[in-house]
Structure 1
Amino acid sequence: MNHNTPLSPRPLRHLPHVWRRVLTTAQLRSHGVSAAETNERCRAGGAWQQILPGVVLLHPGPATAEEKLHAALLYTARSPAPERAASIPAQPGAEDPHAAQPFADVLVTGLAALALHGFTSAPPLLSLETVDVLVPRLRRLRSTGCVRIVRTPSLPAPAFVTGVPVAPVPRALADAVAGLDDADAARRLLTEAVRGGHCEPAAVVRELTAARLLGRPHVVDAVDSLRAEGRAIAEDRLYRMVREYGLPDPVWNVDLRLPGGPHIGGLDAYWPEQAVAVELDTRAPRQDEDALWSEYVRKREVLERLGITVVHLTPGKLREAMEQQATVVRTALMAADDREPAAHVVVLPR
């Protein structure tokens, strides 16, 4: 048997609609279409066209956004032998178990991934000239046609959107920003990521740092806006937690000082009678991370020596487990009667 010999012919009608329009040459052979017949149909003016190396669009017109996405994945994915493809379990969101596509070791990333995640500030899929695909660093692939290869030492866990394996939002953002020179466009994407509840600022900044993008002035400006946006949202969640879970009202955004002595530090919420403080940790990884962490630890140690209980909350905890965090604060307030009275401190507006 040579490369022109069809393998176990199977009809195409069992495939979902998109898979009847985009197939690899190996898949066509498994359905009884020889290499010679594929080449003939892909000639100029023919009924088919080769959209990427080894990937055929089974109609002569322009590719739709869905076809372009699936062609990119077929080109980049590690594919098993055609006769084994039918035994692979369907990906989440696949329309038909017989149409499972072995998209191993690849993820859509960048602007295409953000569009799939529902970002309104990302261009529509159909308007994108290229689809960014994240692959392991050692894969022997090259960017071509509508596919741009993005390499990584290790793939993050995929999200599946309508059956398409997509990079998580922080990684997709970093890959999108890497290709942007427009500061406003980068800022809009980063702001929507946080404001739309897709992810926390710290996760985005970690990816931007790993991609060595924080040296770009327009990225630094966008990150500063991102951090401010993230803190405002976290503060709003803290207000909601106190209100919705019936906690006593604290004093908000205060500075503590020792009587006649030095400044201790700022707090997001403080219950003076119970000597319980809440501090939001909205730090993001930056070059000054060690100094910020040292200052945070110093302040916490001073407060605890004074008998003040410090509850440390992150934006992620408030977003994902607000009720649990309310219970933590309530427990600290209830335990106040069992503790030694705290030292007297002066509470000032921040």
Structure 2
Amino acid sequence: MTHNTPLSPRPLHHLADGRRRLMTVAQLRTHGVSAAETNEQCRPGGPWQQLLPNVVLLHPGPPTSEERLHAVLLYAARERAAGANGGASGGLTVSVPVQPGGEETPTPAYGEAMITGLAALTLHGFCAAPPLPSLDVIDVLVPRLRRLRTTGCARVVRTTALPTATQVTGLPVAPVARALADAVAELTDAGAVHRLLTEAVRGGHCEPAAVVRELNRARLLSRPHVVDAVDSLVAEGRALAEQRLYRMVREHGLPEPVWNVDLRLPGGPHLGGVDAYWPEQSVVLELDTRAHRQQEDDTVWAQYARKREHLERLGITVVHLTPRKLRDCPEHQAAVVRTALMAAGDREPAAYVVVLPR
């Protein structure tokens, strides 16, 4: 028997042995199954079915959510592998267990393709994202120059800057911020957009700045319902960062500052609002919760830089913290603040400033 000779019906059934549930046409060919035999097996009422172009499901029943996800990835990876192997994508293999908890099988290789959009958010554990069986299409992220079309349950999303995929249940999945942007691009329901963005922050999946950067990159900030949701997102992120700051001061035994105050020179100009101020040590703490929105970012940063320079010229130490650092390493941030407070005795006395409630 040559490599191109079709297998008998018995080996064909052996391919769908409960572990190997999806194969490409090229993979079937390497097993000796001709294109004609594949078409025969995929006829209406037959034992197989073509789930996507060149992707065959090796059983007649409805595909599971896991099988659909793997099929979309196989479809998206197919062309890249074919170009690299002279038209044979036999290097791509996928074995999908019959049910969760089944026999562990090799992790498939999908090149640069990854799940994104609502399906990715569901895989990341978002309660506001719909369950996988209810999704008519699954978004798959690929490099911009890929020649691939949206078809069936696979919706192709292209990007010039491919992010690093996160492995979720053995699947390559876009990071939360990127998946959010791709999901929002397809949503017109303001409530759904608001719920997804809010859960991203409240659930600790990512910081508001990362989400807004991706929305800006996708040119979605011109949509009114997205702008409204982003305003709520930034406010939500700000409140959460302040809670973490209060907790850091309390749990790490730092002196209690005066919170959220304005500083002003006596009879002079307004110096700006600060998140925390230790008057005895002349130390200011500021949270960077900028939204990184188009040109606003440069303007806000320039204002912040001028304020910081002015305060430091007056002898006031400025400690700059980000919400992400407060979330990931509060003990280190507490040490930074404590060091600044302890160093106050070694500095020249700062200028006297008036502290006003903000």
The answer for unaligned runs of 5 or more in structure 2 is 94-100
Q: Name the SS of the counterpart of 2:50 in structure 1.
A: strand
1:51 aligns with 2:51: yes
Moved more, 280-289 or 165-174: 280-289
Question: What is the TM-score normalised by the length of structure 2?
Answer: 0.89
Q: Which residue of 2 aligns with 1:215?
A: 222
1:47/1:15 CA distance change after superposition, 3 Å? closer
Q: Which residue of 2 aligns with 1:91?
A: none
Q: Which residue of 1 aligns with 2:96?
A: none
User: Equivalences for 1:8-27 in 2 at 5 Å?
Assistant: 17=18, 20-27=20-27
Structure 1 residue 172: deviation in Å? Answer: 0.3
Q: Which residue of 2 aligns with 1:290?
A: 298
User: What does the per-residue CA deviation read over 1:100-121, in whole Å, with 9 as the maximum and x for residues that have no partner?
Assistant: 4221010100000000000000
Question: Distance between the aligned counterparts of 1:285 and 1:28, measured in 2?
Answer: 49
User: Equivalences for 1:181-200 in 2 at 5 Å?
Assistant: 181-200=188-207
The answer for unaligned runs of 5 or more in structure 1 is 87-93
**In the alignment, is the contact (CA less than 8 A) between 1:12 and 1:20 conserved in 2?**
no
Q: Which residue of 2 aligns with 1:89?
A: none
**Which residue of 321, 335, 338 maps to 1:327?**
335
1:181/1:16 CA distance change after superposition, 3 Å? farther
User: What does the per-residue CA deviation read over 1:63-105, in whole Å, with 9 as the maximum and x for residues that have no partner?
Assistant: 111111010000001336555457xxxxxxx988863422101
Q: Percent identity?
A: 71
Question: Distance between the aligned counterparts of 2:310 and 2:5, measured in 1?
Answer: 78
User: What does the per-residue CA deviation read over 1:229-275, in whole Å, with 9 as the maximum and x for residues that have no partner?
Assistant: 00000000101110111111111111101111121111111110000
Q: How many residues align?
A: 341
**In the alignment, is the contact (CA less than 8 A) between 2:3 and 2:31 conserved in 1?**
no
User: What does the per-residue CA deviation read over 1:8-33, in whole Å, with 9 as the maximum and x for residues that have no partner?
Assistant: x999979995x522211122233343
Q: Residue type matched to 2:209 in 1?
A: A
Structure 1 residue 4: deviation in Å? Answer: 4.9
Q: Residue type matched to 1:234 in 2?
A: A
User: What does the per-residue CA deviation read over 1:167-209, in whole Å, with 9 as the maximum and x for residues that have no partner?
Assistant: 0000000000000000110010000001100000000000000
Question: Distance between the aligned counterparts of 2:141 and 2:202, measured in 1?
Answer: 26
User: Equivalences for 1:58-73 in 2 at 5 Å?
Assistant: 58-73=58-73
User: Equivalences for 1:156-305 in 2 at 5 Å?
Assistant: 156-286=163-293, 287-305=295-313
Q: Residue type matched to 1:40 in 2?
A: E
RMSD of Structure 2 on Structure 1 (CA): 2.4
Question: Distance between the aligned counterparts of 1:143 and 1:30, measured in 2?
Answer: 27
Moved more, 36-45 or 25-34: 25-34
